[in-house]
Amino acid sequence: MAPPSTTAVQEDHVALAEIELCGELMIAASAADEDRLSPDRIDEVLMVTQERSTKADRP
């Protein structure tokens, strides 16, 4: 059965962005020497380190 044609385009962009981020994590994990990616490495791959530090600086 095909998905309903009423799916919002915005939702498709969100899904594609999530798929891209998962792919980036898989690439980083496959290239890593250790068994798991550290939280810092995950932040680096997902480019959230700067965002977290900016939020921490806000009152």
pTM over 0.75? The answer is: no
Q: What is the pLDDT of residue 22?
A: 96
| pLDDT tens digits, 4-58 | 665 566 678 888 999 999 999 999 999 999 999 999 999 999 988 665 556 666 6
Q: What is the pLDDT of residue 7?
A: 58
pLDDT surpasses 90 at 2: no
Residue 1 token pair: 């059965």
DSSP assigned state of 34: S
Element (H, E) at 50: helix 49-57
Using an 8 Å Cβ cutoff, are 28 and 41 in contact?
yes
